[in-house]
Amino acid sequence: MLTIIIVIVAVILLTIGLVWLIDKFIPAKVKPILTLVLWVLIIYLGYLTFNSVYEPIKFNQEKNKRYAKVIEKLIDIRDAQLAHREITGKFAGDFNELISFIDTSKFVITQRRDTTVVDEELTKRYGGVETLKEITLIDTLGYVPVKDSLFKDSDRYKRMMNVPGTDAKFEMQAGLLEQGTSKIPVFEASVKKSVILADQNKDLVAQENEVVSVDGVNGNALKVGSMDEVKTIGNWPKNYGANE
């Protein structure tokens, strides 16, 4: 990009030099036409230079706006999946299952309290001398619908599979990842950058797919969770929103 700008600027300066030479040495009859042509060329090259600088700026502004909307959906998906795992012990494999879970499931509200009771075994061992032990009791206080806890009065969870600004849907999968002798639930929801930016400059989209930066979204997709690692964070930096 910088090379292109330098070349265009050099051509503009050369053209201005030609205009000066024409004004100095070309016969008066021919001068107006050549001068006009060269000034048109200067204006056109100036436009190309401006556009080569401004288009990436405009692309980044639009990209950031779209990414922010997509990330909001990914955060909703993650929150719903974490609730699903808390209650069922696993992640949902598709959006129909996840939405049905939100519509019907409830969180249990509990309270932990410590108390003391007679330790029957120690009391017998000490010849009937009453011996106490501390235990923790968990009382069930009630139930709260998952829908109310996560989404309050909103029904946006019913559309969380839709990628904002497109006709596409997020890809989502869930399963178990083996770690030693354990099998741990994992999930991943994602969408390709090329889908989010389908109507943008293809060269700039290709550059975006190659991003490796601490303040950018690395890789060719926005995603949350992973099928290869035990994690539920997103792959976007914190300037786009909380990713864990």
pTM higher than 0.85: no
Nearest to 172 by CA among 93, 65, 78, 70: 93
- The tens digit of pLDDT for each residue in 26-52 reads 666 666 776 677 667 767 766 666 666
Q: Mention every residue, 6+ apart, whose C-beta is less than 8 A from residue 134.
A: 114, 115, 116
DSSP output for 55-95: HHHHHHHHHHHHHHHHHHHHHHHHHHHHHHHHHHSS--SSH
Lowest mean pLDDT among 13-22, 85-94, 130-139: 13-22
Name which residue leads in pLDDT, 138 or 79: 79
| pLDDT value of position 101 | 96
Q: Which of 110-114, 168-172, 224-228 has the lowest mean pLDDT?
A: 110-114
195-208 pLDDT, tens per residue? 999 999 999 999 99
pLDDT at 239 over 90: no
- Residue 215's pLDDT is what? 83
User: Residue 146 has what pLDDT?
Assistant: 92
Say if CB 137 and CB 112 are below 8 A apart: yes
Categorize the per-residue pLDDT at 213 as very low, low, confident or very high, splitting at 50, 70 and 90. Answer: confident
Antiparallel, parallel or unpaired: β 182-192 and 106-118: unpaired
pLDDT at residue 157 greater than cutoff 80: yes
Grade residue 79 by pLDDT with cuts at 50, 70 and 90: very high
Taking residues 120-144, what's their average pLDDT? 73
Which residues are within 8 A (CB) of 120 and not within 5 positions of it... i.e. 6 or more apart? none
How far apart are the C-alpha atoms of 104 and 23, rounded to whole Å?
82
The ranges assigned to domains in the chain are 2-54, 60-104+157-240, 108-144
Question: Does residue 243 surpass a pLDDT of 80?
Answer: no
C-alpha 9/C-alpha 91 separation (Å) is: 56
- Mean of the per-residue pLDDT values of the chain: 84
Greater pLDDT, 144 or 1: 144
